[in-house]
Structure 1
Amino acid sequence: MIAFLGMGLLGSNFVRALIGKGEQVQVWNRTASKATALDAYGAKAFPDVTAAVHGANRIHLTLKDDHTVNEVLAAAAEGLQPGAVIIDHTTTSAEGAVARTKEWKERGFTYLHAPVFMGPANALDSTGYMLVSGDQAVIGAWEPALSKMTGKVINFGDTTGKAAGMKLIGNSFLVGLTAGLADTLSLAKALAIPLSDVSTLFNSWNPGGALPARLQRMTSGNYSSPSWELSMARKDTQLFMDAANKSDVKLAVLPAIAAEMDRWIEKGHGNDDWTVIGKDSI
């Protein structure tokens, strides 16, 4: 028996997929109607979280944050059967994942943090990426079941909490990428370029393909053979900002990048590869 706590878009689609694979699933959500909506797919909804986990040997969570996970597990504790395994897909702090792993082990349970890079559609189709780290015996025992929920399980080794950190690293990239795209669209607006033309550009030219090489260059520590000099990148960044200012369009990210470029130019790196601005990160 599986219990699933947290029936947001991700959790509810995980449940539908598990039921489709023949699993029996008991569900709970703070807003009860989100749980009872899964009855139509064959889940059994409970208004009380203690009852929802009763009889389940495996409990999955897709909740909001560390505080919510701790609060819900504390409320569910009385209903947990001895030796139950808690698999938490919530994006949390690494410290929180470490603390919960230790606490629940001391209480006789297994806690495995397994955050995901999956949207609701991925959860329903069992595609995407699930991250794990920590006790390799636990991971080895449960990886076959987790693999059925996702396209790939990525094991980051025996350091408890590393999966949580890797999830935060991935999300930080997504946040930065989206903020950068927002500035890109703002610049297009300032230049009176239709969004359809922006789409045409990126449908033909995919800068994402250069990501591995860019990461390698940034982390090499050698910036003396530039493919794009920092001073030239800074010049172009000023063109971006001038165009936006002329059209009274706000840029959220690029001005901060320009300031960081100026800091490195002042330190004498204007002729180095522009990726030198990431030097302090390695």
Structure 2
Amino acid sequence: MARAFLGMGLLGANFVKAMLDKGEKVQIWNRNPERARALEASGAEVFASAADAVKGADHVHITVKDDAAVNEVLAAAAPGLKPGAIIIDHTTTTVEGARQRTEAWKDKGFTYLHAPVFMGPANAREGSGYMLVSGDQALIEKVQPLLDKMTGKVINLGPEEGKAAGMKLIGNSFLVTFVAGLSDTLSLGKALNISAQDIGSLFDIWNPAQMLPVRLQRMSSGDYSKASWELNMARKDTQIFINTVNENNGSLTVLPAIAATMDKWIEKGFGTSDWTVIAKDAVS
């Protein structure tokens, strides 16, 4: 059973290497042909056009940049698609884009499944990490054995088209804000002459990640009346963070914005509420 893969970025190239390691036949294409040709020595069949690369392939995988790139590449591949071919898109896209493509390719007589991933290049190479799917459950059942070989766990989010795209965006949003918060934490550490290694040692002993489920439940409950940390007190500490970094000519990414949000809720009369009240608008 032939497979095609369109897009030889870090993720796509490592997916292909893993497939080749398993003895699979893989037909590949990339806009920059040099990236594709780099995999010829490993056994990949390289094609000059997307349409040629997908000829005869039962499953066509794609990993590119965004909605526009997916649409452009699939349009270029369309003349070569085998009747009944299944398109499996691992690109991080919008929810609406995933839904539109599901319907559009169905109308053209093909099957499109959005299967974004929480995986880096190393995960793709070794078949670990997570792959998200949603939509047609019969289709997912059909292709899951194929997907299981590509990742550590396939997470089926149910029959709602586009939900996999949404959950992928949720995860990436958390990662972006998490790293930005760590950046500010490191800036504060630098201002206090506390090393990243010492900060890591603190988190080894006191792991704030363990608080995540309880904190999420508290934030989404809508009840902020029983404070474990009053907003007024959290705001006071936040100002200490900001002042300390500023006094040492450091830079901050998110803390000033958080302080402004806290001020808004204090002005509304929530100063003695639990500080997680700053999420009120997001969950109400």
Question: Which bin holds the TM-score, normalised by the shorter protein?
Answer: over 0.9
CA distance in structure 1 between the aligned counterparts of 2:157 and 2:280, rounded to whole angstroms: 25
Q: Which amino acid aligns with 2:10?
A: L
Equivalent in the alignment of 2:249: 248
CA distance in structure 2 between the aligned counterparts of 1:40 and 1:275, rounded to whole angstroms: 55
Q: Which amino acid aligns with 2:45?
A: K
Task: Detail structure 1 runs of 4+ shifted over 4 Å in the superposition.
Answer: none
Equivalent in the alignment of 1:9: 10
Q: Which amino acid aligns with 2:142?
A: A
CA distance in structure 1 between the aligned counterparts of 2:228 and 2:39, rounded to whole angstroms: 54
Q: Can you list the C-alpha shifts for 1:169-225, whole angstroms capped at 9, x where unaligned?
A: 110000000111111111111112222212221222221111111111111111111
CA distance in structure 2 between the aligned counterparts of 1:228 and 1:62, rounded to whole angstroms: 44
- SS of 2:204's equivalent in the other structure is helix
- SS of 1:252's equivalent in the other structure is coil
- SS of 2:82's equivalent in the other structure is coil
- SS of 2:271's equivalent in the other structure is coil
Offset at 1:107? 0.3
The alignment's TM-score, normalised by the length of structure 2, stands at 0.97
Offset at 1:96? 0.5
Offset at 1:12? 0.7
CA distance in structure 2 between the aligned counterparts of 1:204 and 1:6, rounded to whole angstroms: 42
Offset at 1:22? 2.3
Q: Which amino acid aligns with 1:106?
A: D
CA distance in structure 1 between the aligned counterparts of 2:96 and 2:195, rounded to whole angstroms: 45
How many residues of Structure 1 are paired with residues of Structure 2 in the alignment? 282
Equivalent in the alignment of 1:44: 45
Q: Which amino acid aligns with 2:105?
A: W
CA distance in structure 2 between the aligned counterparts of 1:216 and 1:232, rounded to whole angstroms: 21
Equivalent in the alignment of 1:74: 75
CA distance in structure 1 between the aligned counterparts of 2:251 and 2:279, rounded to whole angstroms: 25
Q: Which amino acid aligns with 1:53?
A: V
Equivalent in the alignment of 1:133: 134
Q: Which amino acid aligns with 1:27?
A: I
Equivalent in the alignment of 2:94: 93
Q: Can you list the C-alpha shifts for 1:130-152, whole angstroms capped at 9, x where unaligned?
A: 11111111111111111111111
CA distance in structure 1 between the aligned counterparts of 2:157 and 2:198, rounded to whole angstroms: 40
Equivalent in the alignment of 1:263: 264
- SS of 1:185's equivalent in the other structure is helix
CA distance in structure 2 between the aligned counterparts of 1:132 and 1:196, rounded to whole angstroms: 38
Structure 1: give runs of 5+ residues left out of the alignment: none
Q: Which amino acid aligns with 1:152?
A: K
CA distance in structure 1 between the aligned counterparts of 2:142 and 2:23, rounded to whole angstroms: 20
CA distance in structure 1 between the aligned counterparts of 2:23 and 2:210, rounded to whole angstroms: 39
CA distance in structure 1 between the aligned counterparts of 2:191 and 2:265, rounded to whole angstroms: 28
1:50-65 matches, within 5 Å, as 50-65=51-66
Equivalent in the alignment of 2:205: 204
CA distance in structure 1 between the aligned counterparts of 2:108 and 2:8, rounded to whole angstroms: 26
Q: Can you list the C-alpha shifts for 1:143-166, whole angstroms capped at 9, x where unaligned?
A: 111111111111111111111011
CA distance in structure 2 between the aligned counterparts of 1:206 and 1:123, rounded to whole angstroms: 28
CA distance in structure 2 between the aligned counterparts of 1:159 and 1:197, rounded to whole angstroms: 45
Q: Which amino acid aligns with 2:160?
A: T
Structure 2: give runs of 5+ residues left out of the alignment: none
Equivalent in the alignment of 2:190: 189
Q: Can you list the C-alpha shifts for 1:45-77, whole angstroms capped at 9, x where unaligned?
A: 112111110110100001000000000000000
Moved more, 66-75 or 268-277: 268-277
Equivalent in the alignment of 2:28: 27
Moved more, 192-201 or 124-133: 192-201
CA distance in structure 2 between the aligned counterparts of 1:19 and 1:206, rounded to whole angstroms: 40
Equivalent in the alignment of 1:239: 240
